[in-house]
Amino acid sequence: MAKLTLVQALGDALRTEMRRDERVVLLGEDIGLFGGVFRVTEGLQEEFGPERVIDTPLAEAGIVGTAIGMALYGLRPVPEIQFQDFIYPAYDQIVSELAKFRYRSGGQYSCPLVIRAPYGGGIKGGGYHSQSAEAYFVHTPGLQVVVPSSPADAKGLLISAIRSEDPVLFFEPKRIYRAIREEVPEGDYTIPLGQARIVREGSDVSLFAYGAMLQETLQAAEQAQAQGISAEVIDLRTLLPFDHEAIVNSVAKTGRAIIVQEAPKTGGYGAEIAATLAEEALEYLRAPIVRVAGFDTPFPYTLEELYLPDAGRIGAAIERVINF
């Protein structure tokens, strides 16, 4: 197996599906000849032509609206939003139209498309290129929300998303686009949506993370191990639907839970995991559930490193729940 970065794995997934299924089409700003601002789609227009890899105007509502029409007429569109921060002009298309077609048609129509968007901080992108907006879409029934944390997962999850009959928002942690390289299976390779992954076994505390925060969480777990604390690390992978069984089973074993997200804390996705554990795993808890998150401020440029959760902040949370 070749060792790929996350960017390369995503490109491999798109190429694999476009070769397998001629209904798969890509559209977005600068994704064609330029290959996308992060080069995920580099070389795809050359192979598949401008009718399947379509450069669009800078109009997110138009990109998503066009993709919805394509999906309803039998195609499998994969629109790209250049940065997740720019998705808001298409918000009404996504939550009012895309998410509701199957329900409002009584199951007669599905709208299978995947909206790809890089999200999060860590690249000095400033306030308009660093946001984490996953919670807005997790709150919308009818959508699936996926966040990979490694190259192999990125490929397997993206192919599964493209093949899904329901719409998927596929948020890519750009901070680790090229920071990680690992072996990625060649050819047809899928990972089921809604299935978490135990990245590290442990017995004293459960750490739940997704996207770029997985690396910080693993580092904190290693540091805790040096102090004699056994931390289990769960990569959520899919935020909606999420893996209830894996989350509850982990906390049943460890008795402690820490959820890590880089989005602001209030109303963030971590609150959903915390509420689920309070409802379904209260009898197992030996300490309060703790969230380690970004702060409730607009994303800062000069203070980016202070804003983003790191191994130190996660380690402090581990110490808190262990010593409770």
Dig out the tokens for 248 from the structure.
């509850």
Distance CA 59, CA 56 (A): 8
Tokens 């919805």 locate to 68
Distance CA 106, CA 284 (A): 40
Contacts of 35 (CB under 8 A, 6+ apart): 41, 42, 43, 44, 45
Distance CA 211, CA 87 (A): 18
DSSP class of residue 57?
Answer: -
Catalytic residue among 52, 116, 129, 256: 129
Phi, psi of 17 (to 5 degrees): -75, -35
Distance CA 305, CA 299 (A): 11
Distance CA 13, CA 151 (A): 10
Phi, psi of 10 (to 5 degrees): -65, -45
Distance CA 47, CA 49 (A): 6
Answer yes or no: 244 catalytic.
no
Catalytic residues: 129
